[in-house]
Structure 1
Amino acid sequence: MSDIMVSVRGEHELRVTPERAVVRLTVTADGPQRGAVVERIAALAEPLRDELAAHQASGAVAEWSSERISVWADRPWNADGARLALVHHGTIGITAEFADTTAASDWVGSVGLRDGVRVDGVDWRLTPETRAAREREAATAAVGVAVARATAYASALGLSTVTPLEVADLGLLGHPDQVGAPMPKMMRAAAFADAGSAPDLGLRPADIVVSAAVEARFSAR
């Protein structure tokens, strides 16, 4: 009996607790005088920077950055369609990557209640080392699933030996006329939690999903 070709797909998914919290804030101020708006922005941003510097010194923050003040002006319209006096607007964006997710939750809960400070969101991440290790783990497990499926198919046909011929990311073992087709990603890892504006901003991040999927071909005899 000639060898039979067996083509299968293997998938595996891991759920990993986030290790880093990237907090994004915007400090805002408005007023009729440009100088007063700049001073107000600086006064609001200074304690935030001081707190982040202290958190970084303690190890709770891995890194943080602050944008330069952006100021612009416009003349709003009133309900009667008349132009009002010039209003100046100012903003500063601040981003902080917390290595301590509990400290991140506490800090967001504090700054989210301050006048002129808006919490834009929190992105949950893994460290590069953990992400790479979990991706390798997921890929290894996905190949194992493919081998198990091929073995099961062969056994159902009364065959006892399977030999791997090809293994690749999804889409790479397609027919020749599918070469130009979009290729699905082998791995993904994403999670986001909106900090919101409620008084209790205790952050409860969802697990980060790391997944892998492969296609494989075996000969069975």
Structure 2
Amino acid sequence: MTSTPVETQPAPVPYGTPDAPRLAVRGEAHLEVAPDIARLGITVSARGTDRRTTLDDLTRRNTTVLDLVRTYADAVGRLETGHLTLSPELTEGGHGERVHAHHGRVHVTAELTDFTALGELTTRLAALELTHVEGPWWDLSPDSPAHREARRQAVHEAVRRAREYADALGTTLTALVELADIGAENAERPSSAPRSAHRTALDGTVSAHGPAALALEPQRQHVYARITARFTMAPPRL
């Protein structure tokens, strides 16, 4: 019994052939754009000798903060409550353990997509009783057009560089073989610039004339895109 021979495909040539030389280039883009998100960290505190009274005060202040932020519903894209803590403070010294006071804290994060009300909201929050405000932390949303534009520019840069190399050899590109984010082959996440943060810590103090809105200038965000592209060229005359 004879077996039918199995056709074997030629192994791919990673570096091209004399008839179809392969060219690999990198394309990079760096944009500096305005942020579209500002995050505020809000910590509400309460302290008292009675546990139930401390919890009631914490609940009341937390509700006040949430109600205030919700009045800016058109500007607030997300409002989230983090962890809550209510812990006793023990008296130092003496015999046995005695509770001296109770401390309570609630952490809230507000994400704003409209910055026109950011300064006013920040100062109004800071004027509340036992309320600590941090931020803003500036950022770009995942669907920001800036990410798409950076990738587009990186591709154009790769094509431009490849054409320059081909032109230096007196030839032209014939086909695109591969296009990949740098690190995609190794399942690594491409490096990116750290998020910018302008941190202002404000504790609640009440002014007789009401709080004046802070003038907050958004920090520009850095967006990077890096790719590798591989092309084939017409055989150059060397």
The answer to whether the 8 Å contact 1:164/1:217 transfers is: yes
Q: Which residue of 2 aligns with 1:98?
A: 112
User: Under a length normalisation based on structure 1, what TM-score does the superposition of the two structures give?
Assistant: 0.78
Q: Which residue of 2 aligns with 1:185?
A: 190
- Once structures 1 and 2 are overlaid, which stretch shifts more, 189-198 or 134-143? 189-198
Q: Which residue of 1 aligns with 2:80?
A: 65
Q: Trace 1:21-36 onto structure 2 (pairs within 5 A).
A: 21-36=38-53
Query: How much does 1:156 deviate?
Result: 1.7
Q: Which residue of 2 aligns with 1:41?
A: 58
For the pair shown, the structure with the greater C-alpha radius of gyration is 2
Count of residues in Structure 1 that have an aligned counterpart in Structure 2? 208
Structure number with the higher helix fraction is 1
Change (3 A) 1:86 1:101: same
CA–CA distance in 1 between the matches of 2:98 and 2:213? 38
Q: Trace 1:174-213 onto structure 2 (pairs within 5 A).
A: 181=186, 183-185=188-190, 190-197=195-202, 201-213=214-226
CA–CA distance in 2 between the matches of 1:187 and 1:67? 27
Q: Trace 1:1-221 onto structure 2 (pairs within 5 A).
A: 2-56=19-73, 59-66=74-81, 70-75=85-90, 77=92, 85-129=99-143, 131=144, 133-172=145-184, 181=186, 183-185=188-190, 190-197=195-202, 201-221=214-234
The answer to whether the 8 Å contact 1:188/1:212 transfers is: no
- Once structures 1 and 2 are overlaid, which stretch shifts more, 91-100 or 68-77? 68-77
CA–CA distance in 2 between the matches of 1:162 and 1:187? 32
Q: Classify the secondary structure of the residue corresponding to 1:118.
A: strand
Give the gaps of 5 or more residues in structure 1: 174-180
- Once structures 1 and 2 are overlaid, which stretch shifts more, 119-128 or 8-17? 119-128
Q: Classify the secondary structure of the residue corresponding to 1:97.
A: strand
Query: How much does 1:77 deviate?
Result: 3.7
Give the gaps of 5 or more residues in structure 2: 1-17, 204-211
CA–CA distance in 2 between the matches of 1:187 and 1:25? 28
CA RMSD of the aligned region, Å? 3.1
Q: Classify the secondary structure of the residue corresponding to 1:45.
A: helix
Q: Classify the secondary structure of the residue corresponding to 1:193.
A: coil
Query: How much does 1:35 deviate?
Result: 2.2
> Percent identity between the aligned chains?
27
Cα shift readout 1:177-208 (whole Å, capped 9, x = no counterpart): xxxx5624277783332122399853322122
Query: How much does 1:88 deviate?
Result: 0.7
Output the amino acid matched with 2:221: I
